[in-house]
Amino acid sequence: MALLALSVAAFAIGTTEFVIMGLLPEVASDLHVSIPSAGLLVSGYALGVAAGAPLLAALTARMERRNALLLLLGLFILGNTLCAVAPNYGVLMVARVVAAFCHGSFFGIGAVVASHVVPRGQAARAIALMFTGLTLANVLGVPFGTFLGQWAGWRSTFAAVTGLGLVAAIAVWRLVPALPDLPSPHMKRELGVLRQPQVLLALLMTVLGFGGVFTVFTYIAPILQQASHVSVGATGWVLILFGVGTTVGNMLGGRLADWRLMPSLMGVLAVLVLIMLVFAWSMHNTIAAVVTVFVWGVAAFATVPPLQMRVVQQASEGPHLASTLNIAAFNLGNAIGAFIGGAMIDMHLGLSSVSIAGAVVALFGLLVTAISAALERRRVTRLVTCAASA
């Protein structure tokens, strides 16, 4: 029941984060800005997550974990209410940042709570179950939010998300147990783990690996409508298919992470790079584009549980802040990806260049992952050699 409540909250947060992608043309038209400028609303949200994660982690460090989650959801509700009534682009950007402030800390704290309400050996799957709400946001929240925004105006979508936030807060209050025995994070010790090279490499893996996804996904609506010739009304259905892929990928990623973490992560990132290269070609054929979007969704979100688990694993002495910062790293990757994709469009390099750029960013993520794995193997070999000598 606790994982269900966390999933409901993740669904609400994921919907507000991702639904803007399906509504970029409507927002741009209504607020009289360009598509790349509207795309910066994605970057603004992501940077809000990156900035808010360490700040809110520090402010909530001594709070009981359930109470901290409820406080963060209150901030989420406030931000989305402001989005629904924003009169212009500037206010909407500020409102997106306010809503984003809760994001990193919520998932960071939620991941730690999820790992403590299941038996040993099931932590990655528990985290994956919490993130199922995030992937279901892509299956249901984003497509139906897109439909609602196209039918009743994009503001109505954010009003609906505000209602989702209220439901999520009630679910967390009623279903997540208080965990007084879960020690509050000691901030000095938590900050200390950031001196560990493997923790920093894990955070960089997240920035680059997921940054490649958002280089493309930020502009998925104009890509589908302009390059793939998918109608405006059918765009939401393709996003549903993408969401189904993310749900499958998220659960697959959790199982792979519990099995063999680093080899699985490198394999998934390699597949992700290949798919985005293929999408640069397949986006120009409607059927091929739709099939690729589904497979891409599987690969994209199969990275989420292992990337989160890697940080928690390497920062075992200070998992709260590291887990929160990894959510910030996901969103920093989102911001960088949205900027790179927008730059490709602004330079008139064609929509195919957006997908190629995404593949290059994810490839750098794969290289960092390989370096991290090699350093870990070298450390283990050295420890075994020292033990044998002793």
pTM for the full model? 0.73
What's the pLDDT tens digit per position in 257-310? 778 888 888 999 999 999 999 999 999 999 999 999 999 999 988 888 888 788
pLDDT for res 381: 72
190 pLDDT band (50/70/90 cuts)?
low
CA distance linking residue 77 with residue 168, whole number of Å: 10
Question: Which of 20-29, 86-95, 124-133, 233-242 is predicted least confidently?
Answer: 124-133
Class of domain 2-177+193-389: mainly alpha
CA angle in degrees (0–180, nearest 5) for 310-266-361: 95
**Secondary structure of the chain as H, E, C letters:** CHHHHHHHHHHHHHHHHHHHHHCHHHHHHHHCCCHHHHHHHHHHHHHHHHHHHHHHHHHCCCCCHHHHHHHHHHHHHHHHHHHHHCCCHHHHHHHHHHHHHHHHHHHHHHHHHHHHCCCCCCHHHHHHHHHHHHHHHHHHHHHHHHHHHHHHCHHHHHHHHHHHHHHHHHHHHHHCCCCCCCCCCCHHHHHHHHHCHHHHHHHHHHHHHHHHHHHHHCCHHHHHHHHCCCCHHHHHHHHHHHHHHHHHHHHHHHHHHHHCHHHHHHHHHHHHHHHHHHHHHHCCCHHHHHHHHHHHHHHHHHCHHHHHHHHHHHCCCCHHHHHHHHHHHHHHHHHHHHHHHHHHHHCCCCHHHHHHHHHHHHHHHHHHHHHHHHHHHHHHHHHHHHHHHC
Q: Could you read off the pLDDT of 195-228 as tens digits, one per residue?
A: 788 888 989 999 998 899 989 988 888 899 899 9
* CA atoms of 326 and 319, how far apart (whole Å): 10
* Residue-level pLDDT at 384: 65
The pLDDT of residue 24: 82
**pLDDT tens column, 20-70:** 877 888 888 888 888 788 878 878 888 888 788 778 877 777 777 788 888
pLDDT for position 274: 95
pLDDT of 310 reads 84
Domain boundaries, the chain: 2-177+193-389
What is the per-residue pLDDT for 119?
A: 67
Q: What one-letter code names the amino acid at 12?
A: A
Residue 389 or 41, more confident: 41
pLDDT at 121 over 80: no
